[in-house]
Amino acid sequence: MCGIVGYIGDKNCVPILIDGLKRLEYRGYDSAGIGIVRENDAIVVKNKGKVSLLEEKLVEQNLNSNLGIGHTRWATHGIPNEQNAHPHTNSKNNLFIIHNGIIENFQVLKNALIKLGYTFESDTDSEVFAHLIDSFLNKGYNLSKSVQMALIEVDGTYGLAVIYTLEPDKIIVARKGSPLVIGLGEGENFIASDVSAILAHTKQVIYLDDGEFAEVSINNFAVKTIEDETIEKEIHEINMSLDEIDKSGFNHFMLKEIMEQPESVRNSMRGRLQAESGSAKLGGLTDVVDRLINSKRIIISACGTSWHAALVGEYMLEQYARIPVEVEYASEFRYRSPIISSHDSFLVISQSGETADTLAALREAKNKGALALGICNVVGSTIARESMAGVYIHAGPEIGVASTKAFTSQLVVLALITLLISKRKGISKTKAVELATELNAIPKKIEQILNLNEGIERLAKDFQNAQNFLYLGRGYNFPVALEGALKLKEISYIHAEGYPAAEMKHGPIALIDENMPVVFIAPKDSTYGKVINNIQEVKARGGRIIAIADDADGEIDEIVDYTIKVPRTIEMLTPILTSIPLQLLAYHIAVKKGLNVDQPRNLAKSVTVE
């Protein structure tokens, strides 16, 4: 969601901050700002809208400083405007802060600060930090101690960075529930909410954990707990390159990432899939595999697109591993007194590894004694660090807000886990080899689908003015219907709903007329005949039908208006293939509507608040 970047060193920080904020734009935001120290004065420049507008302001002012912090804000408290943008300052204008997260007791703190004579300029909860820290500075404490004492007063989540002009040799940062890293350089150091913001300058980082704060200077850093206990932190080397977070000639990150799926899927299974023997090797699960296999139940928890992947995983694991599986919305899980025991395995899925609701669900499961596992993409993320074991999907950086390649890689990893468990539980070698062989062939089949891009773009032209869409699928492809509808909603702002195809008769059929496009996911699987019946029901009511079908299926062409053909595969793996045309359809409809597909309105890549 909101983005943080900071610099202390011997260079002009302004271009470094702007470059970092640009690399954080994919996270979603509605305003931006920077704060710097120049000749012991605090200078804050901010505005509503894009970082490019902020950059124009800064060029006009020709600012130069060796110390500064920058922020992109995704509105929670207070509308998007310049007043509510970060940084926020104290009344003396000698301290400024940037903050990701939510202060849950901000109104109580704000009322107390107003009684002390403080005046608030914004509608945000974040401004409380500036005045609260200032209140402790006024009592004679130094900056580090003042921040520490302020944090004790605050209930909620934060990724926090603070600069004080009277101590211009440091940045104070703190983390609880919102990611922060410290980047280490030669005669300079950096802070950021995401390593992509500082990747151009360093690949050595320190990940802060919840309940930690740090003092960062030009040549050093010191990390403590809020209770003042010194902590030794491990330095991590980032293997990502700048090329991976550039568009590489594509018009949008989303299209680039759709087109990367043959390679991202290969990377997800590389060194793990053993096709000839029909087995999978997942090093991240080695120490817990016996407990996982003997689980009485597997619970999978996630949000958004990852939740749709979890639904497919439920089908996979129940069919082949024969373990009962439940799929839970992470945002609801811990609020309903869930029954969990040490006999359960609890698996969370998150692209970013920082999703607040998913992380909270993971912690709840750990506290109740379950085997807590993670599937995520971002190495070093909080979920990766707090899981008892897990699997990285290795999809590479995903910058587009609407997830594409991470989704298909999540499905691949779930298939590998299914293969691993089912092989150990006695699935026949013939069936195991069939599953593994088909999985090994998936990247080539994705390449065939991507060759349909131009045809899908032409099809999109016929639907760019649609007001509603219905997506229908059965079995393994019901979650694909949900995901296809979500993609269209996210980036085109067209209302779309996904349903099990048989549920259409229980309500949604009332919506169908000649103006309603209906997308059927209809590969020739065990539900094919039933789906054809559902297609006939829509056709009888004048609906405009798009079918995602097998490339050898000539029958379906006779009864639908449009077809997009995908290669045949086994039923368990069809969602990996059938989801990709729906990604392209949503992308091209949104582009033809003139929308920003990489940064859709109101959305954030990493949702770090409830």
Active site (catalytic) residues: 2, 605
Question: Can you give the three-state secondary structure of 114-157, one letter per residue?
Answer: HHCCCCCCCCCCCHHHHHHHHHHHCCCCCHHHHHHHHHHHCCEC
CB 3 within 8 A of CB 604: no
- Where residue 394 falls (left for φ over 0; alpha for ψ -120 to 50; beta otherwise) is left
Nearest to 100 by CA among 199, 206, 9, 24: 24
Q: What is the Cα–Cα distance from 6 to 70, expressed in whole angstroms?
A: 6
Burial of 175 by CB count in 10 Å (0-12 exposed, 13-18 middle, 19+ buried)?
A: buried
The strand pairing partners of 221, in sequence order, are 216
Q: What is the Cα–Cα distance from 200 to 195, expressed in whole angstroms?
A: 9
Q: What is the Cα–Cα distance from 210 to 191, expressed in whole angstroms?
A: 16
Q: What is the Cα–Cα distance from 599 to 156, expressed in whole angstroms?
A: 27
In the numeric block, which tokens belong to residue 77? 């408290």
Q: Which amino acid is at 574?
A: T
Secondary element (H or E) of residue 223: strand 221-225
Q: What is the Cα–Cα distance from 133 to 148, expressed in whole angstroms?
A: 9
In the numeric block, which tokens belong to residue 442? 């998936």
First-last CA distance in the chain: 11
Q: Write the DSSP string, 292-346.
A: HHT-SEEEEEE-HHHHHHHHHHHHHIIIII---EEEEEHHHHTTS-----TTEEE
CA Rg, the chain, in Å? 25
